Amino acid sequence: MFRFGKGTRGGRRGFFARLFEALTRGGRRRAGARAWQPSEVRLVSIEPPTVRVAPAARTLQRRRMATIRRALRPRTWFVTAGYVEWLEDRTLLSTLYWEGDVDANWSTVGNWSSDGMGTPAVAGPANGDTLVFDTGTTGLTSFTSNADTSLTGITIQIVDNDAANDFTIQSGAGVSVGLSAMGGISHTQTAATAGTTISIETLSLVGDTSITNTNGTLNISSNVTNAGNLLTLDGAGTTTLSGVISGAGGLTKSGTGPLTLSGANTYTGTTTLTGGSLNIQGSISGPLAVNATGNIQLTNAGGNTQIADGTVTATFAPGDPTDVTVNGGAGNDTLTVNDPAVLPTGGLIFAAGAGSDAMVLNGPVAVTTVTHSFVNDTDGSVDIDGKMISYTGLAPITDNLSATDRVFSFTGGSETITLSDDTGMVAGMSMID
């Protein structure tokens, strides 16, 4: 209860100040609650004998029955208020459908509909909106957004069913689109010869983000800024990301489709392959982890190194990345090295799974020294002229390399060494120096 009397603050502003002090318990606040700011409370109306504060009505009742003649007249009131909800600016998220009836700019409201059936949108794209591009829209095969577009946390949905032409989203200079866990990119292709190209100057990850290519072909030539988040590329479609991925975040390739990274990427997070295929034609700076089952092969193919098992493939240029980890699964895994010269500088780690796992060493050219170090029956390492392969859970290891010197170091367990015929200068003879 509070009283308006002579000498108190006068005027409408003073009345409301005292009212809100009472609603907030005389200006005191509960532990953990933030201090009240006058700009955070909005008065809806005054209806004697009721004062309503949005969003919930708050009633002031006089102790004695009387007619309120002036809202600010000194009276004694009871305040009935369980709480005051602090108001904030809120924008309802929208789903907008691209029509392109006016021009090629995202910011033009007339280019969008609210239902995909031509009903005009009341506003253009805003942060957090879902933008739907359907190539079935008449005449829609390509457009260019203007340079004043900057959106955060949006979702881009593409339905590509135009078999006549590829569908292209092309941006002007300065366009920035932020993708987050509430956003991302999804692509579905219904026409066999269709394809989609997204070329926005910068895609910024403001949270963990997924790009899902359900089927068909999706090309993303945009640069991607990833400051510590996880970018997941999923789906059965063929996806190419040719822009530069930068930042401290990581990348995960899942799903059954192939992914090609052809940019000079500088991101330092881990690249993890859990399904499909990964072809690194450009470069990556961070470590590469391959989680696979079945046969895994490391081979020199046109100057590149490839890890494959028929389901999972990773290709990278010599020296990129600095280290590779291959995690075997429950099946029978085989790691085959066909050219040790292209092993990563930081080494290759093969962590075999629960099956019967093995390693085969081949090479097109002779090497100088091969050193086998056995920790126990199944764990150890192989040093091939300074290129290291570390392994766990393997038996047997088949060494078909042509080497001047071989060194075997046993630190535990019992091993079996099988020497095959040397078809070089001394045919029909195997030697241990």
pLDDT of amino acid 15? 54
What is the arithmetic mean of pLDDT over 326-351? 79
Tell me the per-residue pLDDT of 67-77, one tens digit each, with 9 for 90 and over: 334 444 444 44
**Residue bearing tokens 């046109």:** 302
pLDDT exceeds cutoff 80 at 172 = no
pLDDT of residue 221: 86
Round to whole Å and give the CA distance between 205 and 227.
7
Residue 196 burial by CB count (10 A; 0-12/13-18/19+): exposed, middle or buried?
Answer: buried
d(CA 320, CA 303): 12
Contact in structure between 68 and 59 (CB atoms under 8 Å): no
- Tens-place pLDDT, residues 313-334: 555 555 556 677 777 766 777 8
Contact present, 252 and 230 (Cβ < 8 Å): yes
Distances in Å between the Cα of 123 and the Cα atoms of 91, 92, 93 are 11, 11, 11
Return all residues near 378 (Cβ < 8 A) that are at least 6 apart: 352, 392, 393, 394, 395
pLDDT tens digits, residue range 118-152? 899 988 888 888 888 876 654 454 555 555 566 77
Query: How many angstroms separate the Cα of 14 from the Cα of each of 9, 53, 73, 83, 396?
Result: 5, 16, 12, 21, 88
Tell me which of 11 and 250 has the higher pLDDT: 250
Peptide bond into 55 cis (omega under 30): yes
Residue type, 67: T
Task: In whole angstroms, give the CA distance from residue 390 to residue 350.
Answer: 6
CB 235, CB 215: distance < 8 Å: yes
The residue with tokens 């002090």 is 21
Residues 6+ apart with CB under 8 A from 12: 71, 72
CA-CA distance, 243 to 218, in Å (whole number)? 13
| Least confident stretch, 45-59, 90-104, 153-167 | 45-59
CA dihedral 46, 48, 51, 56 (to 10 degrees): -100
- Asked whether the predicted pLDDT for residue 113 surpasses 60, the reply is yes
Mean pLDDT of 174-178: 71
> What single-letter amino acid sits at 215?
N
CA 377 to chain centre: 41
Q: What is the DSSP letter of 120?
A: B
- DSSP symbols for 358-373: EEEE--SS-EEEEEEE
Angstrom distance (rounded) from CA 89 to CA 106: 24
Instruction: Give residue-wise pLDDT tens across range 245-293.
Output: 999 999 998 888 888 888 888 898 888 887 777 777 777 777 777 765 4
CB atoms closer than 10 angstroms to residue 253: 24
Which DSSP string corresponds to 188-206?
Answer: EE-STT--EEEE-SEEEES
Q: What percent of the chain has pLDDT over 90?
A: 12
Q: Where are the domains of the chain?
A: 2-80, 93-246, 287-433
Provide the pLDDT for residue 101: 84
Helices and strands in the chain: count of H runs, count of E runs = 1, 39
pLDDT at 369: 95
**Inter-residue contact 208 to 234 (CB < 8 Å):** no
